[in-house]
Amino acid sequence: MKEIELIPYDLESSVESLELLEIIEKYYSKSPYLPDQKKIQSGEVVYYRAFLSGSQVGITGYSKKTPTLAETIKTTIFDDFRGKGLGTSLSQAIEDECKKLGIKKILSTVYFFNHAMIHIKMKQGYTIEGYHPDHEAPGFHEYSLGKFLT
Ligand SMILES: CC(C)(COP(=O)(O)OP(=O)(O)OC[C@H]1O[C@@H](n2cnc3c(N)ncnc32)[C@H](O)[C@@H]1OP(=O)(O)O)[C@@H](O)C(=O)NCCC(=O)NCCS
């Protein structure tokens, strides 16, 4: 697995938070619910740049639900870098980061049409814990995928 380095965004910086917002808007344009810059800057989600050999190849993040439960968010590989195993490495990197922070269980909600991410998560030992029809909006069904970190 390729070694991805995670560097946190400085969300207090309006330049960095705007850059992140633009990435989210680009890659989640189909999503009915997108954060705005204010929400990104709230710190509710800790976001990271994902680097491979000095180049940014994607983003990821997590949100703590309880002291030991975290949801991973917006795990994304930029278009030019897909299909090379980096999505798998990035999913592992955010899991490792959460584990380092004392998280005991992670979860991810994934749109039903996102077969690549569902495949990645199941390969990494997640199980489907729920199916949520019309979750974010009509037609946007989602799976909850969870994993206990031992
Ligand atoms: C999901 C995403 C991160 C995958 O990135 P990637 O770098 O292409 O992923 P990888 O190359 O590591 O692996 C993709 C895996 O999914 C599989 N896959 C790809 N398309 C698939 C499909 N339609 N159905 C089933 N599996 C699929 C590949 O075969 C590969 O599996 P393998 O390693 O067992 O061969 C990327 O497509 C992305 O950023 N999507 C947009 C953002 C997003 O939806 N993020 C998830 C939010 S929850």
Residues whose CB falls within 8 Å of the CB of residue 106, separated by 6 or more in sequence, listed in order: 62, 69, 70, 71, 72, 95, 98, 146, 147, 149
Counting residues of the chain whose pLDDT is more than 70, the rounded percentage is: 100
pLDDT class of 2 with cuts at 50, 70, 90: confident
Structure-block tokens of residue 99:
């584990």
- The protein residue with its alpha carbon nearest to ligand 1, atom 5, reads 87
pTM: 0.96
What is the residue-wise DSSP string for 71-90? EEEEEEE-GGGTTSSHHHHH
Strand ranges of the sheet holding 105-111, from the earlier edge strand across to the other edge: 5-8, 46-52, 55-66, 69-77, 105-111, 142-148, 127-132
Q: Please name the residue that has the structure tokens 């959460």.
A: 98
Judged against a pLDDT cut of 90, whether residue 8 lies above it is answered with yes
Residue 104's φ and ψ, nearest 5 degrees, are -105, -20
For residue 1, is pLDDT > 90?
A: no
Question: What mean pLDDT is reported for the chain?
Answer: 97
How far is residue 37's CA from residue 16's CA, in Å, rounded to a whole number? 10
Q: What is the spatial distance between Cα 21 and Cα 37, in angstroms, rounded to a whole number?
A: 6
Enumerate residues lining ligand 1, CB below 6 A.
Answer: 27, 75-77, 82-88, 108, 110, 114-117, 119-120, 123
Q: CA angle at residue 106 from 117 to 3, to 5 degrees?
A: 60
Q: Which of 51, 58, 50 is nearest to 79 (CA)?
A: 58
Q: Which domain holds residue 19?
A: 5-148
Residue given tokens 């380092």 in the structure block: 100
Instruction: Report, as an integer, the average pLDDT of 34-58.
Output: 96
Based on the structure, what is the number of domains in the chain? 1
pLDDT over 90 at 107, yes or no: yes
Q: Is 90 exceeded by the pLDDT of residue 77?
A: yes
| Model confidence band, residue 57 (pLDDT cutoffs 50, 70, 90) | very high
Atom of ligand 1 nearest to the CA of 114: 44
CA 121 to ligand 1 centroid distance, Å: 10
For residue 12, give the CATH number of its domain. Answer: 3.40.630.30
The pLDDT tens digits for 123-142 are: 999 999 999 999 989 999 99
